[in-house]
Structure 1
Amino acid sequence: GQKILSAPFAILGSIGVVAQLPNLHRLLKKHDVDVEVLTAGEYKRTLTIFGENTEKGREKFQDDLETTHELFKNFVARYRQQLSIDEVSTGEVWLGIAALGKQLVDELQTSDEYLASRAREADLFQLHYAEKKSLPERFGMAASTVLEHGVLKGWTRLNEQRFWQ
Structure 2
Amino acid sequence: MKKSRTGVAVLFIGFLIVAFVALIMTLSMLSNEKEETGTWSSILEGGNKIGIVTIEGTIMSSDDILKQLRKYRKKSSIKAVLLRVNSPGGSVAPAQEIYREIARLREKKPVVVSMETVAASAAYYISSNADAIVCSQGTITGSIGVIMILPEIHQIIQRVGADVNIIKAGKYKDIGSITRPLTEEERGILNGFAAEIHEQFISDVARGRKGKIEEQKLREIADGRFFTGEKAKEWGLVDDIGNFYDAVKVAAKLGKIKTEPELVYPKKKWDNLLDVFMESAASAVVKVVERTRALQAPTIQ
User: What per-residue deviation string (whole Å, max 9, x for no partner) do you get for residues 16-36 of structure 1?
Assistant: 001112210011012221112
Pick one of 34, 46, 49 that aligns with 2:175. Answer: 46
User: What per-residue deviation string (whole Å, max 9, x for no partner) do you get for residues 41-88 of structure 1?
Assistant: 233332111234222112211111111111111111111123222122
**Residue correspondence of structure 1 range 4-153 to structure 2 within 5 A:** 4-81=133-210, 82-83=212-213, 84-115=217-248, 121-123=258-260
Q: Show the counterpart of 1:157.
A: none
Secondary structure class of the residue paired with 2:132: coil
Q: Is the 8 A contact 1:14 1:90 kept in 2?
A: yes
* Cα offset, 1:104, TM superposition: 0.2
Q: Show the counterpart of 2:90.
A: none
* Cα offset, 1:105, TM superposition: 0.6
* Cα offset, 1:6, TM superposition: 1.4
Structure 1 segments unaligned to the other structure (5+ residues): 126-130, 135-165
TM-score, normalised by the number of residues in structure 2: 0.38
User: What per-residue deviation string (whole Å, max 9, x for no partner) do you get for residues 109-164 of structure 1?
Assistant: 1114334775x953457xxxxx69x9xxxxxxxxxxxxxxxxxxxxxxxxxxxxxx
- Give the letter for the 2:235 counterpart: K
Distance between the aligned counterparts of 1:88 and 1:52, measured in 2? 32
Alpha-carbon RMSD: 2.9
Q: Is the 8 A contact 1:36 1:51 kept in 2?
A: no
Distance between the aligned counterparts of 1:37 and 1:78, measured in 2? 43
Secondary structure class of the residue paired with 2:202: helix
Structure 2 segments unaligned to the other structure (5+ residues): 1-129, 263-275, 281-301
Distance between the aligned counterparts of 1:61 and 1:78, measured in 2? 26
Q: Is the 8 A contact 1:37 1:51 kept in 2?
A: no
Structure 1 residues 17 and 124, CA gap change in structure 2 (3 angstroms): closer
Q: Is the 8 A contact 1:35 1:50 kept in 2?
A: yes
Distance between the aligned counterparts of 1:74 and 1:38, measured in 2? 39
Secondary structure class of the residue paired with 1:44: coil
Structure 1 residues 31 and 9, CA gap change in structure 2 (3 angstroms): same
Structure label with greater radius of gyration: 1
Distance between the aligned counterparts of 1:70 and 1:107, measured in 2? 26
- Give the letter for the 1:5 counterpart: V
* Cα offset, 1:13, TM superposition: 0.3
Secondary structure class of the residue paired with 2:191: helix
Q: Is the 8 A contact 1:100 1:107 kept in 2?
A: yes
Distance between the aligned counterparts of 1:123 and 1:80, measured in 2? 29
Q: Which has the higher contact order (CA 8 A, sep 6+)?
A: 1
Distance between the aligned counterparts of 2:161 and 2:184, measured in 1? 23
Secondary structure class of the residue paired with 1:65: helix
